[in-house]
A and B are shown apart, each in its own frame.
Chain A
Amino acid sequence: DGGITQSPKYLFRKEGQNVTLSCEQNLNHDAMYWYRQDPGQGLRLIYYSQIVNDFQKGDIAEGYSVSREKKESFPLTVTSAQKNPTAFYLCASSTGFQDEKLFFGSGTQLSVL
């Protein structure tokens, strides 16, 4: 399964609710990433983390938050401030941060009830 696991596969959010998407890797990778995929929009970078206890905003960070307390885990919280959260969310990891192959998880489809 590539060593990077996302859960759940499907997630539903109610109005005003925060939800958290899980991403775990056992590849001993230093860097981890969150991308959002909408039809026809490609993959847009939400947040990334080069090392534990450090992360940076990507192009569309508003309405999202992350933490990197452990090397193997990089959870993404979609807050109530994100007004259009319906999308496919992909987590990825890489050995190092520069010019490295990304390994992707199988994704989480988030929908609004």
Chain B
Amino acid sequence: GENVEQHPSTLSVQEGDSAVIKCTYSDSASNYFPWYKQELGKRPQLIIDIRSNVGEKKDQRIAVTLNKTAKHFSLHITETQPEDSAVYFCAPNQAGTALIFGKGTTLSVSS
């Protein structure tokens, strides 16, 4: 099965700084790489995803980069704001299987 690890488990930044969260996976057949955000007391929501035929995808202040050779992908948040404070989960999956989530990274943005 898929072995998923996220680093770091906690991350504290000042407002305006950048934040990077890395997700490593074990299954070389994985071909879909989403990131979910869960604010305190709320449900997880998809914020960005990438497929294996693309190396990078950007959506305003967030981006995801993929390195299939090294089997990792990263979430990049620029110009962080207090509302970015949340738990972020990666969930790489192989086609035909349900999403397996990492343990999450708690991001705190202080103003």
A96 to chain B, nearest CB (A): 11
List residues 38-85 of chain A with CB under 8 A from any CB of chain B. Answer: 40-45, 48, 56, 58-59
Question: Are A59 and B1 also in contact (CB < 8 A) when A2-B43, A99-B32, A107-B43 are?
Answer: yes
Interface size on B, residues (CB 8 A): 24
A–B complex contacts, Cβ < 8 Å, 30 sampled: A33-B98, A33-B99, A35-B101, A42-B104, A43-B44, A43-B89, A43-B101, A44-B101, A45-B99, A45-B100, A45-B101, A48-B98, A59-B1, A97-B98, A98-B95, A98-B96, A99-B51, A99-B95, A101-B34, A101-B46, A101-B49, A102-B36, A102-B44, A102-B46, A102-B99, A104-B43, A104-B45, A105-B43, A106-B42, A106-B43
CB of B43 to closest CB in A, whole Å = 4
The reply to whether A45 and B98 form a contact with Cβ atoms under 8 Å apart is yes
Chain A contact residues (Cβ within 8 angstroms of B): what range?
20 to 34
A2–B43 CA distance with the chains assembled, in angstroms: 10
Q: Name the A residues within 8 Å of B103 (CB-CB).
A: 40-42
Interface of chain A residues 91 through 113 with chain B (CB within 8 A): 97-99, 101-102, 104-107
Q: Which residues of A contact B44 (CB under 8 A)?
A: 43, 90, 102, 104
Measuring CB to CB, which residues of chain A are less than 8 angstroms from any residue of chain B?
A: 2, 33, 35, 40-45, 48, 56, 58-59, 90, 97-99, 101-102, 104-107
Contacts of B85 in A (CB 8 A): none
The CA of A72 and the CA of B91, in the complex, are separated in Å by 24
The yes or no answer to B31 lying at the interface (CB within 8 A) is yes
Asked whether A90 lies within 8 Å of B43 as measured between CB atoms, the reply is: yes
- Asked whether, in the complex, the Cβ of A42 is within 8 Å of the Cβ of B49, the reply is no
| Known contacts A41-B103, A90-B44, then 19 further A-B pairs from the complex at CB < 8 Å, ordered by chain A residue | A2-B43, A35-B101, A40-B104, A42-B89, A42-B101, A42-B102, A42-B104, A43-B101, A48-B98, A58-B98, A59-B100, A98-B32, A98-B95, A99-B93, A101-B46, A102-B46, A104-B45, A105-B43, A107-B43
